[in-house]
Structure 1
Amino acid sequence: MQYTQVFQAFSTLCGLVLGSETLIPVGFIRFEFLQIIGIIPTIIFIFVLWRLPPTPFRIVDTLTKNNGATEKKLAKSVKFYYGSEDYIDCVKSEAFGRWNIGTKSNWSELKESNNLKGLIIGTLAAVSYSFTADDLIDSYSNQILHSSGEKFSELFTVIYGVILLITSIIGAFLADKFGRKRLIIYGLMATGFFNILAMIGDSTDWTFIEVIGFGLTKAAIGFGAGAPAWFLTSELVSPRITHLCQTISTGSLLTASGFSSFVYLPLSTHIGIWSLFILAILPAFFVAIILILFLPETKDKPYGEIKWILMNNVFSGLTEESGQHRWRKLRRESEPVIHRKSGTVPSYGTTPTTTSIQDLKVF
């Protein structure tokens, strides 16, 4: 999840460098040059997709009667994607957890209150990425700084891309150490404060303050506000409908970012730099407050615990550790009952190592 932000930052930096007339002067053929540069990765990606083996879960999902051939394909796929065949039992266990969860349709499961709540919170966390002003800085910082009298505005835009890439790499490790909730909230609030700093610099003609403000905003995005926003929804909903909810969440993020970039220019012609306050700063603080109240920490928590927090707390973001301990105690107390009822059924996420590929066929 965290590395999505790293690669997104890298691709943004490539676009800023290749699109810079100062760094790569191509004159009147710049449009054609950028079109060619844009289509090359797409062609390469299509070829890579064609050559990639099917994913382990795809193989399990399309089981065949030839058990031996399926086992070989699964072992080859697991080795390719996970680096070792030792993970094959973990994949089978995860597949069992995904598909052997009742007979309800995806939409029926989505209507459950805990999943709806998780989807709304996750989507809001995703949309918060557009309120960091990341796309606005990439698209318009050159114009904003140039209008403030900065001669090296185009170079600073590229430097912002470098800052985002470096901090995103560090942020990928910080998210695993300190948790998604803390990073996304602190990062979101930091972008709000630093964008205010940039706005003050623009309003007072202190260009160096504006340059520093945008740079610090990029750093805050990389360290915290960026990475957790992309795929946090997948940790807040049932594993069975992760693909559906994550599609809605990521689509909302991209739509909000596109809308913000589209509205900025006509809005800035009327109110200038204050458009940054309306499109980024104010929404960032508003969403941060909502996430403080409702977003539970997902780090090192199974979905069962996250579901319990969402169902039993209106303000699920304010849940104390005692509430988490109560869930774990409930889980421990229920395990003997589970084993008495079924004899061999373990808790979600584990499975006997002797599980056959055919045991996963739940159709």
Structure 2
Amino acid sequence: MATPIETDAMRRAIDAARAVICALPNPRVGCVLLDPDGKEIATGFHRGAGTPHAEADALTRAGERAAGATAVVTLEPCNHTGRTPPCAQTLIAAGVTRVVFAQTDPDPTAAGGAETLRAAGIDTEAGVLAEEAAELNVAWTHAVTTGRPFVTWKYAATLDGLSAAPDGSSKWITGPEARRDVQKFRAEVDAIMAGTGSVLADDPRLTVRDEGDDPLPYERQPLRVIVGESTIPRYYRVFDQTAPMLIIQSRDPHAVLQKLAEREIRHVWLEGGPRLAGAFWNAGLIDRVIGYIAPALLGAGRPALEAAATTLADLRPIDVTDLTTIGKDIRLIGTPLGAPREDFD
């Protein structure tokens, strides 16, 4: 059983992992090394693909002090060789005598690290603050267990559920605080998706921007994904050089996500427009909803979602997990419940 000192160390490891905004396509992981007296030796965290894993980062910081230490890790040490060596073997070679981890690795290609550690005679304990650690990587866990990216649908609408006026104008329904809040969520994903209709209508940038509304560096930008069969003129802003871009000429949400899964995309931010969102909603492929509701009414215009519901029996509830005000607007975060109609594809 984990000691109170080890549990406190796990909380610090979780905080270290949480400080990383996005490590996709890899998970966010933190590691704290403790000496035999329970004092912290070093803290490490994973910054993203190709960089040292959290365990290796902590071990490098600790140097020779790692021998005889306890490693407290938010995710089971990996057991495979990818861009970096397997962490289980790295811990063994460093002389660590005990490993405490939170979430069991759900990735079948990397799992098994605990067994390797135990076979080497290292005392190993799993499940310490597992739920808290799992919250760090909800989208990543979903992607590696289902084989498709996690999809977050974001929309902005008036109180009567409209995202554009009858003339098609839609900028801006919500205030500047809400728009800045969106950037924080965009920075946590590895793809931002919009339909060709929305791109043609709004000419969006689909980038992550700072407080001054300037795009972040190219290497920190998610993949821009444009879905649909309409042609986008080359002078539109999605073709600029501020972020990578991919066009998928398909109307099938399943096929779109399959193409993205092949590119190791884990978390898709679905942003526009209502027809594309409706296709994903009808297919049951929206995993989280983030809605920004402006305290205003239009009375007529285009709805935020174009789905195929015909009766109240088609109603799909949303489990609201967060409800707060952002500036003058309301932000709602929730998880769709229930299955879509069987005849939806």
- The TM-score range, normalised by the shorter chain, is under 0.3
TM (normalized to structure 1)?
0.21
Q: Which has the larger radius of gyration?
A: 1
- Name whichever structure is richer in helix by fraction: 1
Relative contact order, higher structure (CA 8 A, sep 6+) = 1
